[in-house]
Amino acid sequence: MLKLKNAALLLALCGTLNAHAAEPATPIKVGVALDISGPFATIGAETRDGLNLAIGQLGNKLGGVPAEFLQTDFAGNPEQANQLVNRYLQRDKIDFFTGPVASNAALAVGPALFAAKVPYLSSNPGPSQFAGKQCNPYFFGLSYQNDTYDEAAGKVANEKGYKNMVLIAPNYPAGKDHLGGFKRFYKGAVKEEIYTKVGQIDYAAEIAQIRAAKPDAIFFFLPAAMGINFIKQFVAGGLKGIPLIAPGFSADQDIIQAVGEPMLGIYNTAHWAHDLQVPANAEFVTAFRKQYEGRYPTVYAAQAYDVVMAMDAAVREVGGKVNDREAVLAALKKANFKSVRGAFNYGPNNFPVQNYYLRLVEKDAKGQLANKLVATVMEKHQDAYVGECKM
């Protein structure tokens, strides 16, 4: 009799335990490593604003399940990013990861995340390594592959008939991807290929080199503060007559706002523009400008917004069971969300097959400087590394 009573008690106990297990004990945790300070700080701020807009619209939920977004600054330092990711993995047991702006940070944190089976949805960098030989089912290059913006820019340079060009980029993995991508499509001569320090702010030596080389045009990949300083000093150095052509990163809203008038007339390429005619995009741009004092969003904000929406769709697809990582990966790969760039498809290496557009910095109806979409350069373009990826 006593035994029976005990068994009943045990059963009751199990019942309460089960009841607890059924409702999610902890919210879904998303680890976000941000570049709020450091060489990519202006981009980090855009990433944060894009993420927070989406998080707000979803009411701090992913797929209807409460979610917690851990946001920490790592100052653009890959070593610090690594420490942060280890903390996220071991202490916070995150379910998703996103955030870093630069490829060196993405390459540094990738292996630990993949080993821990945490999906990494990139809100910006698309290093060639992760698109090719080191591709991984846990990495989603939701944004773009580094070389692709520049491949489109190379095509534009050919169309403009530039025969002699100087190329300039910071000396880090993405810098090499970007110039490599440009050279893959550009058919003219490369007079100088200049690599500078990451985070360099004084470009006097490089400007003298450009003056001496007398190129038809310059292709420059210098994101964030680097681009701001380069263009200001380029104008101050009296080189304004030489046309500048750029991947979108060197002429996006963060740089336009800081530099002002000298940006007018710079052609740049991107997979997205604020005036791209897609319903989801119109909604996003209106909401962004409403929340952030009329400011136009950048590519970075658009990508960050897409990242949260992609997570949301995947969590909904698996019914909130984020511990079933195989199912989460399959759901992420489906990419069943309304991207602000229109229809969204991954290629076999988890990098998007998408259009690339030509944008031109102009004044809008209210006299505010902004990029205007002028043409489609490439349609349904996939990166050059997809063949090297064995997944």
Among 57, 80, 158, 233, binds other proteins (CB under 8 A): 233
Nearer to other proteins, 28 or 34 (CB): 34
Encoded tokens for 348: 């076999």
Nearer to other proteins, 106 or 225 (CB): 225
Instruction: Write down the least CB distance from residue 197 to other proteins, Å.
Output: 6
In Å, how far are 58, 177, 326, 341, 350 from 145, measured between CA atoms? 28, 9, 24, 15, 10
Between CA 154 and CA 369, with CA 196 as vertex, the angle to 5 degrees is 60
CB 140 within 8 A of CB 331: no
Instruction: Write down the least CB distance from residue 276 to other proteins, Å.
Output: 28
Provide the strand spans (E) within the chain: 28-34, 61-62, 65-73, 96-98, 120-121, 139-140, 164-170, 189-196, 217-220, 244-247, 267-270, 354-363, 369-381
Q: Is 268 in the site for other proteins (CB under 8 A)?
A: no
Among 128, 196, 268, 339, binds other proteins (CB under 8 A): 196
Nearer to other proteins, 192 or 275 (CB): 192
Region 97-126 residues binding other proteins, contact defined as CB under 8 A:
none
β-sheet bridge partners, residue 33:
72
Nearer to other proteins, 86 or 171 (CB): 171
Stretch of 102-110, 137-145, 236-244, 309-317 contacting other proteins, by CB under 8 A: 236-244
Q: Is 237 in the site for other proteins (CB under 8 A)?
A: yes
Between CA 147 and CA 42, with CA 216 as vertex, the angle to 5 degrees is 45
Q: Is 216 in the site for other proteins (CB under 8 A)?
A: no
Among 236, 264, 374, 375, binds other proteins (CB under 8 A): 236
Nearer to other proteins, 131 or 228 (CB): 228
Site string for other proteins, 151-190 (x = CB under 8 A): --------------------x----x--------------
Among 58, 235, 282, 327, binds other proteins (CB under 8 A): 235
Instruction: Write down the least CB distance from residue 201 to other proteins, Å.
Output: 5
Longest dimension (CA), the chain: 99
Instruction: Write down the least CB distance from residue 169 to other proteins, Å.
Output: 9
For 163-223, give the secondary structure using H, E and C. Answer: CEEEEEEECCHHHHHHHHHHHHHCCCEEEEEEEECCCCCCCHHHHHHHHHHCCCEEEECCC
Residue 91 carries which DSSP code?
A: I
Encoded tokens for 332: 């992420």
Instruction: Write down the least CB distance from residue 309 to other proteins, Å.
Output: 26
Sign of CA dihedral 124, 128, 131, 134: negative
Encoded tokens for 93: 């047991």
Region 125-154 residues binding other proteins, contact defined as CB under 8 A:
none
Region 31-60 residues binding other proteins, contact defined as CB under 8 A:
36-37, 41-42, 44-45
Instruction: Write down the least CB distance from residue 231 to other proteins, Å.
Output: 12
Region 306-335 residues binding other proteins, contact defined as CB under 8 A:
none
Site string for other proteins, 4-33 (x = CB under 8 A): ------------------------------
CB 286 within 8 A of CB 59: no
CB 186 within 8 A of CB 158: yes
The number of residues in the chain equals 391
Determine the Cα–Cα distance for residues 271 and 289; give it in Å rounded to an integer. Answer: 20
Q: Is 298 in the site for other proteins (CB under 8 A)?
A: no
Site string for other proteins, 59-98 (x = CB under 8 A): --------------x-x-----------------------
- 161 exposed, middle or buried (CB, 10 Å; 0-12, 13-18, 19+)? exposed
Encoded tokens for 371: 């990029």
Residues forming contacts to other proteins in the complex (CB under 8 A) are 36-37, 41-42, 44-45, 73, 75, 171, 176, 192-197, 199, 201-202, 204-206, 208-209, 211-212, 225, 228-229, 232-233, 235-238, 258
